[in-house]
Amino acid sequence: MDRSYKVYQAKYLIPKSDKGPAFTLHADPVKFHAELHNDGKLCAFITRDTYAEAKAEGENHIRRNEVASQTS
């Protein structure tokens, strides 16, 4: 099973209105999202307070695959 992850800063999409076009704002306070993928499909979406926490979740996701393949 191929596992991967992607970490990025959380944003809000403000939709288009009579006051102007759509735009995005970074979350305040800053948060980070991580998308965890199995075989190219999204299997989990998480939010963490720091980039390091979100990255650690992604690394643990990949490590679970390595451990599973060693025991098979």
Name the one residue in this structure whose structure tokens are 């999202």.
33
Selection from 25, 32, 29, 37 nearest residue 8 by Cα: 32
Mean pLDDT value of segment 18-45: 95
What are the pLDDT digits (tens) for 35-58? 999 999 999 999 999 999 999 999
Inform me whether the pLDDT recorded for 15 exceeds 70. Answer: yes
CB 29 within 8 A of CB 47: no
Q: How many structural domains does the chain have?
A: 1
Residues paired with residue 4 on neighbouring β-strands, in sequence order:
37
Structure tokens at 40: 């190219």
At residue 72, the pLDDT reads 60
In which domain, by residue range, is 19 found? Answer: 3-71
